[in-house]
Amino acid sequence: MELNVQDRTTPPPVVVLVRPQLGENIGKAARAMLNFGLLEMRLVAPRDGWPNPAAGPAASGADVVLEQARVYESVADAVADCSQVYATTVRKRGVTKPVVTPEVAAGEIHAGPGRSAILFGPERSGLETDDVAVARTIITVPINPEFGSLNLAQAVILVAYEWSKGVALAQPPETELPPVAPQGELDGMIGQLEEMLEGVGYFFPPDRVPATKRTLRTLLTKPGWSSQEVRTLRGVLSTLARPRGR
């Protein structure tokens, strides 16, 4: 998969999953990463080992992230080459560190210099105090205090999305749109319809004919008709004009 991103000196952040529990959640996190152009995943002591057969199906095609994922024994090892480390968590008691939103963190990461790492904790308990201690900054998502539970993939996608605002991701359409019909084809279709409507006495009373035709043309020229659409409608009109039984 080719990603079209703006030229920049600051590398994308590394996503570090600390003691992830389920292979499915690792796969979903990989999918969230690739959606927004992040490729490098690091795993710290995954509970069920690695590779995990359950991760692939959950990744829904984000295989490049899983294939390149690296495993580490500790958080310190996983972020040793990173000059800035963020911990995604609520504020921990006894830990005094700057607390920022994903948007602010994304701006800092783009400003660089150096590589950044973003820590995400286990699904059930989140990051422990010792994990957060390795980080320099805490990322906290503004969330409903009455229901503040995010799953792993949700947390990853929120942070990855904010980072992606600073790059240009290519977004080609899934299918190419058909060419818009030239004006001559459209005028021919409208003329055919007007002739048929005149034949059945549609345009009445006479003093309203210009306004009625203008309304009809406005209606038919609003969408960007394709040549195939014009041919289709003209085929319908031709069928309607044909006497029954032929």
The tokens of 240 are what? 């309607």
How sure is the predictor about 243, in pLDDT bands with cuts at 50, 70 and 90? low
Predicted local distance difference test score (pLDDT) of residue 217: 82
Pick the CATH number of 14-164 from 3.40.1280.10, 3.30.1230.10, 2.40.50.180, 3.30.1340.10: 3.40.1280.10
Do 137 and 87 meet the contact criterion of CB atoms below 8 Å apart? yes
pTM: 0.69
For the residues of 93-141, what is the DSSP string, one character each? Answer: TT----EE-HHHHHHHHHH-SS-EEEEE--TTT---HHHHHH-SEEE--
Give the whole-angstrom CA distance, residue 145 versus residue 142.
9
pLDDT tens digits for 72-112? Answer: 999 999 999 999 999 998 765 666 789 999 999 999 999 88
pLDDT tens digits for 116-162? Answer: 999 999 988 889 989 998 999 999 988 887 887 789 999 999 999 99
pLDDT tens digits for 50-64? Answer: 999 999 999 999 999
Give the whole-angstrom CA distance, residue 75 versus residue 87.
11
Q: How far apart are the first and last CA of the chain?
A: 55
The tokens of 29 are what? 């996190």
pLDDT tens digits for 12-65? Answer: 999 999 999 999 999 999 999 999 999 999 999 999 999 999 999 999 999 999
Number of neighbours of residue 159 by Cβ within 10 angstroms: 28
Give the whole-angstrom CA distance, residue 112 versus residue 120.
21
Counting every residue written for the chain, the total comes to 246
Do 221 and 186 meet the contact criterion of CB atoms below 8 Å apart? yes
